[in-house]
Amino acid sequence: MKVSEIGFVYSEHYHRDNVGREAAIKKIGGDGNVIAMFYVDRGHKNGPEKHYLTDNGIIIVVNAITNILCTKLIARPQQLLRYREWGLKNELNENTRKMKNWIVPQRIIGIAQKHQSEHLNLT
């Protein structure tokens, strides 16, 4: 799935405050393609979120109610492993949704490790 198919809306805040992060994402080849989506509800006042994970190691966080982009993150390995710790399933794919122990592929964790070693996730 292409990121453009998500259909989220950019907030004014995102365009204003995330110029550096978008430049870093562009440097690593852009958002990439979505491989997983995790529904995350941690009781935030603005409601639950959808976390889209891409094959470039980017996490795109969208408000699940308004479909407004909250942020994009250049993932750290621990962030990716946390989805498993939280017991979240990949909601994007019918096959992986049924898998009890689906985890983020090691290849994506390796990409996140590379990004972290290059300090790209600090932007």
| Whether pLDDT at 29 is above 80 | yes
What is the average pLDDT across 96-111?
Answer: 76
Q: Which two tokens stand for residue 47?
A: 């409601």
The answer to whether the CB of 55 falls within 8 A of the CB of 108 is yes
Instruction: Give 93-97's long-range contacts (Cβ < 8 A, gap of 24+).
Output: 93/36, 96/36
Q: Which two tokens stand for residue 99?
A: 């898998």
The rounded distance, in Å, linking the Cα atoms of 82 and 99 is 17
pLDDT in tens, 43-96: 989 899 999 999 999 999 999 999 999 889 999 999 998 887 776 776 766 666
What is the average pLDDT across 89-108?
Answer: 71
Residue from 95, 83, 105, 97 nearest 33 by CA: 105
Residues 6+ apart with CB under 8 A from 65: 46, 47, 48
DSSP characters over 40-54: E-S--TT--EEEEEE
| Whether pLDDT at 97 is above 70 | no
pTM of the model: 0.85
